[in-house]
Amino acid sequence: MNLTIDIGNTRVKTAVFEQNNIVETFFFDKKKIISEIQKILKKHSISNGIISNVATLSEKKTKKLQEIFNFQVVSSKIKVPFINLYKTPLTLGVDRIALVSGAVKQFPNKNVLIIDAGTCITFDFVNEKSEYLGGAISPGIYLRYKALHSFTANLPLINTFEIENFIGKDTKESIISGVLNGVVKEIDGVIADYNNKYMDLTVLLTGGDTNFLSKQLKSSIFATQNLLLQGLNEILIFNGYK
């Protein structure tokens, strides 16, 4: 079995795979990563592991993880199942590398636009020849709320995903309408641009804000919460760890 681990700023997402199938997923606080991984290793017979965003861990915790099980670390140097045509491949985020790997596995020989809606909204495009061409990076929903609050004198900090009115009747409603409708129209617009240029486009939506956005977007999409973890597993398999 393979263990894939994605380390975020505060949370860790992991999945146990039997070949290409997810057996179980786990979510926990990053502070508990050592004890939680030890629990997983006791529960499942793990042969191989892979970690993305290991740089966010302290040196002490990284060393401890290396002691309890053998794992690969995603970097720009690892072999991947696509051709990376990014102008600065060394700067391509490991999360984006994993997402594209997962997309290529799920939709081979397709033009695929991957949208990861989290702290940032990232757009990544891989064509039918499995060539990664690049994409875009935009502020996510909460980041927009936070920016309005932090860089103005009187606007409150909002954290909601409910659009009450298209026309905001007060300051709170106006912020919600501006941010949420703005994000939805931005994503729909980007999808339209890609559709105009590439035929038979497949659009994948993933990330923390997937549930909200999948109900709002006009475009036809595939919503998948575990694409990054699936991509990590695909990288393991591609590198000979099955």
Residues designated catalytic: 95
Through-space distance between the first and last CA atoms of the chain, rounded to whole angstroms: 7
Q: By three-state DSSP, how is residue 11 classified? A: strand
13 is in an annotated binding site: yes
Segment holding 143, helix H or strand E: helix 141-150
Q: Per the structure block, which two tokens stand in for 131? A: 């060539």
Sheet of 83-84: strand order equals 83-84, 131-139, 120-126, 111-117, 201-206, 222-223
Structure tokens given for 47: 């042969």
Residue 182 annotated as binding site: no
Task: Please indicate if the annotation marks 183 as binding a ligand.
Answer: no
Adjacent-strand bridge partners of 7: 12
73 annotated as belonging to a binding site for a ligand: no
Is 116 marked within a binding site? Answer: yes
The beta-strand segments (E) located in 140-238 are 201-206, 222-223
The reply to whether 178 sits in an annotated binding site is no
Is 224 assigned to a binding site? no
What's the number of CA atoms in the CB half-sphere (13 Å) around residue 230?
17
86 known ligand binder: yes
Residue 96 is labelled as binding a ligand: yes
Q: Per the structure block, which two tokens stand in for 188? A: 């729909």
Q: Is 171 annotated as a binding residue?
A: yes
Is the separation of the CB atoms in 77 and 94 below 8 Å?
Answer: no
206 in a labelled binding site:
no
Extract the annotated binding site for K(+). Answer: 116
Extract the annotated binding site. Answer: 6-13, 86, 93-96, 116, 119, 171
Extract the annotated binding site for ATP. Answer: 6-13, 119
Extract the annotated binding site for substrate. Answer: 86, 93-96, 171
